[in-house]
Structure 1
């Protein structure tokens, strides 16, 4: 897929415009969005993603379009798992409900910038070192095992621990525990500049998503090697994340088998990457440095899409069926802390 420079520039300009507009709206009037507002925005973003995928189909063919839709679904499903942690972060820092949307928006913008850097580094690595797919594949299989293991254990709100960067900032810089709207800094009584809880929350959200990108970026490179599709799939997944947080907050509690479904997907993509690495092998200690030209080593994109859709559907159905037979306390033990949601 040959992407002209002007397409990259146009994509960057449109993305910046959308996020700037969204941020201006949220920043001007911080509030807790209603379910109707979330559903409207989410429908628009999903519709834009579908139109973009169809545009790829008409301009570049069916294979790149299927790669985009597959990558977008993978990123979206992994983003849903991220929402559990976002809920815990909001609860831990006691973020006022009317400020949560603003904090999420800034955190998402930070995440998009950091993911773009990750994608650029990843694209450069795979274009120069075919053996990097071995590392990506093994890492995803390991991550899948770890995720499945964590899914089998009870989760608790107190299990969340601040990452080292956030802990360093809290120790190093003077801070206030009082909320001052969406301000990140205030001037104290002694004329000393202090960071606010909003600054800590945004930093926590952004850096936490960076950790999630360590598995989501290799995962989508297992779907497509085209950096443009990797980037746009991430953009569209992050666009609707804020609305998804408010829209399905209650439903998240019922997705008790989500960890297992995502673990299976990561393991599948990890094996797919490992097979691809064997097919493109250049390591001298594997098959004498020669490629393994077996047809089954290259899993077709249509099969990947079928596996992704089927896994997500089965996970959702089984989760909703199982959660309907559980008490609220049992759901908490399976999928984390419960929070109250209303229609705004």
Structure 2
């Protein structure tokens, strides 16, 4: 692939971190419930920023890193939509006032980005020295795809987090606006906002167990993996408010996500066959004739799978509404 200079990578990461910090400070200084117009504008800004970054990559490193970034970004963006279902459950369970949900989401996203950065570094080192890990990644994604399609999501992660934190840290029962600490009966304690921050961050890290192996199936460049994750999470806060009331209508979205995970799982297994051949397996050489999956095919599959699941969900929701209107 085209080489990206270290100076460019460092500069890009500094700029992206500065944008995230500015976004966080804006939310902290002006907590509010964003309007649909505001959410749409911010999402458009972040999507546009990702596309501009892809163009910059095209000029700096060539077509290969640019196409890998776009594919990885769309993959992570698709998988991050699945996070929103769980985020809504967490916000509801903790009873977070909608005025302060932006701040909670932003801090949770930053915690998740730090954890994902560590995951990506660890994954890059493992892949560099143990290419057979792609077999495990591929099988894990196929198993995850099956669970996504045919099993219910486990939303009980917050319960054990709450129990663990409350054992070691004093936490009040009520919020004190957007403060992290408050005074109860003359004693300084943390507010439930701390539990929300930790739950959102840890939950997203659990989602990273799926998405990080998946994106390594698109590119092995840690910089592209991390920047794709940053851009995918950047607009997640606004997407939460824009789509929050519509997510329950996307009945087939999880099938699209499962298809994407399954496809990337197969792609990783094919890559493993070429990179770490199992010569002791009879007839293994036949499998090596299977061609590697090109980036353009991965990109096309992600767009088609997610688009089809959304369109099918909208059609199904429309038919359901019509039946409900004509029902006696």
Aligned residue for 1:58?
59
Q: Contact 1:278–1:297 at 8 Å: present in 2 too?
A: no
1:84 is matched with which residue? 85
Aligned to 2:206: 211
Q: 1:287 to 1:118 in 2, by over 3 A?
A: farther
Q: Kindly indicate whether the alpha-carbon contact (under 8 Å) linking 2:90 and 2:158 is maintained by their aligned counterparts in 1.
A: no
CA distance in 2, matches of 1:249, 1:66: 30
Q: Check 1:186–1:322 CA distance in 2 against 1; reply closer, same or farther (3 A cut).
A: same
TM-score with structure 2 length normalisation?
0.92
TM-score (norm 1): 0.88
Q: Distance in 1 between matches of 2:168 and 2:136?
A: 36
CA distance in 2 between counterparts of 1:79 and 1:16 reads 19
Which residue does the alignment assign to 2:170?
Answer: 174
Map 1:51-200; keep pairs closer than 5 Å. Answer: 51-150=52-151, 160-162=156-158, 164-191=160-187, 193-200=188-195
The reply on whether 1:306 has 2:297 as its aligned counterpart is: no
Query: What is the rounded CA distance, in whole Å, between the counterparts of 2:301 and 2:72 in structure 1?
Result: 12
Offset, 1:327? 5.1
1:215-264, CA deviations, whole angstroms, 9 ceiling, x for partnerless residues?
A: 00001111111111111110100111001101111221221101111111
Residue of structure 1 equivalent to 2:276: 281
Alpha-carbon distance in structure 2 between the residues aligned to 1:121 and 1:290: 31
Partner secondary structure for residue 182 of structure 2: strand
In terms of mean alpha carbon deviation, does 159-168 or 218-227 score higher?
Answer: 159-168
Deviations 1:152-193 (A, max 9, x none): x5x7xx9544253442002332211111122212233243x3
Number of corresponding residues: 322
Deviations 1:54-78 (A, max 9, x none): 1212222222222111111110011
Instruction: List alignment gaps of at least 5 residues for structure 1.
Output: 331-344
Q: How has the CA–CA distance of structure 1 residues 186 and 19 changed in structure 2, closer, same or farther, with 3 Å as cutoff?
A: same
SS at match of 1:194: strand
> 1:245-299 deviations in whole A, cap 9, x for unaligned?
01111221221101111111101100100000001125453469989642x3301
How far apart in 1 are the matches of 2:53 and 2:281? 40
State the secondary structure of the residue aligned to 2:249: coil
Q: 1:129 and 1:290, CA in 2 relative to 1: closer, same or farther beyond 3 A?
A: farther
Q: Secondary structure at the match of 2:32?
A: coil
User: Could you tell me how far 1:20 is from its partner in structure 2?
Assistant: 1.2
Give the secondary structure class of the aligned counterpart of 1:177: coil
Instruction: State how far apart, in whole Å, the 2-side matches of 1:37 and 1:162 are.
Output: 30
